[in-house]
Amino acid sequence: MTEKRSPLPTLQGPRIRLRPHREDDLAAFFALYSDPEAMRYWSFPAWTDIAQARDRFAAALLSPGVDGTHAWAVAGADDALIGGLTLFSIDGAQRRAEIGYALQSAHWGRGYAQEAMRLAIEYAFDALRLRRIEADIDPRNQGSCRLVERIGFVREGLLRQRWLVAGEITDTALYGLLQEDWHRRAQQT
Ligand SMILES: CC(C)(COP(=O)(O)OP(=O)(O)OC[C@H]1O[C@@H](n2cnc3c(N)ncnc32)[C@H](O)[C@@H]1OP(=O)(O)O)[C@@H](O)C(=O)NCCC(=O)NCCS
């Protein structure tokens, strides 16, 4: 019997929303992943040709798709795509997943990422019933480290030379957030 997956929901925050991708997001999607500043610590180099967007954009349109990846568009007040937030490597038996996120650099520094993360994490722990979320971050990526620490992720270790991107070998700071920690913090605030 094949498992029936729920469609990707729209999650509404005060200033931003997480919503499914739409066909007319392609230009903004490409703009995000071709922004060298936003891709500085990413797992692949900034795109230079819109053809490079094709496979990833097609998968985003089909999300949650066959592997269950939840790929949301982060949208601002006018509903245009300004970023992406993805729950991936979702392991239903272990009830854990990884989280990835990026905003176009023009939108940094306003708390949008924190708002987007809180919406996705709430959904992951409550609706998907996950119990652990991991973030794999280049330790030099201070903005990302600060973001997850602010939310309550714990830096659990350093994985040496884990990535090779555009000829550069880099480490991973592995962060983890447990459902029990998230709920305990929610009760304290
Ligand atoms: C990481 C990223 C998503 C942060 O987005 P953002 O919307 O600017 O983050 P927020 O405004 O919600 O900030 C959250 C916290 O991180 C801090 N922060 C954000 N960027 C920072 C930076 N460059 N240096 C230091 N702190 C930073 C903020 O001050 C805030 O902390 P505070 O609440 O104590 O003030 C954004 O910089 C980005 O898209 N980077 C490129 C993609 C990327 O590297 N993704 C992560 C891959 S692991």
Q: Domain-by-domain residue ranges, the chain?
A: 15-188
pLDDT at position 188 is 84
User: Where does the pLDDT of residue 169 fall: very low under 50, low under 70, confident under 90, or very high at 90 and above?
Assistant: very high
Q: Which ligand 1 atom is at minimum distance from the Cα of 112?
A: 7
User: Does position 167 have pLDDT exceeding 60, yes or no?
Assistant: yes
In the chain, pLDDT over 90 holds for what percent of residues?
A: 93
Q: Which amino acid is at 9?
A: P
Write the residue with the smallest CA distance to atom 30 of ligand 1.
147
Torsion angle in degrees (nearest 10) through CA of 146, 150, 151, 154:
70
User: Where does the pLDDT of residue 123 fall: very low under 50, low under 70, confident under 90, or very high at 90 and above?
Assistant: very high
Tokens 């967007």 belong to 53
Strand order in the sheet with 154-165: 11-12, 17-19, 70-75, 81-91, 96-103, 132-137, 168-178, 154-165
User: Where does the pLDDT of residue 1 fall: very low under 50, low under 70, confident under 90, or very high at 90 and above?
Assistant: very low
Determine the distance separating the centroid of ligand 1 and the alpha carbon of 138, expressed in angstroms.
13
pLDDT in tens, 46-95: 999 999 999 999 999 999 988 999 999 999 999 999 999 999 999 999 99
Pick the CATH number of 15-188 from 3.40.630.30, 3.40.50.2000, 3.40.50.1000, 3.40.1170.60: 3.40.630.30
pLDDT in tens, 140-161: 999 999 999 999 999 999 999 9
Determine the distance separating the centroid of ligand 1 and the alpha carbon of 18, expressed in angstroms.
17
pLDDT at position 65 is 87
Question: Where does residue 34 rank: exposed (0-12), middle (13-18), buried (19+ CB within 10 A)?
Answer: middle
pTM: 0.95
- d(CA 156, CA 100) in angstroms, rounded, equals 17
| Average pLDDT score over residue span 97-108 | 97
Determine the distance separating the centroid of ligand 1 and the alpha carbon of 136, expressed in angstroms.
15
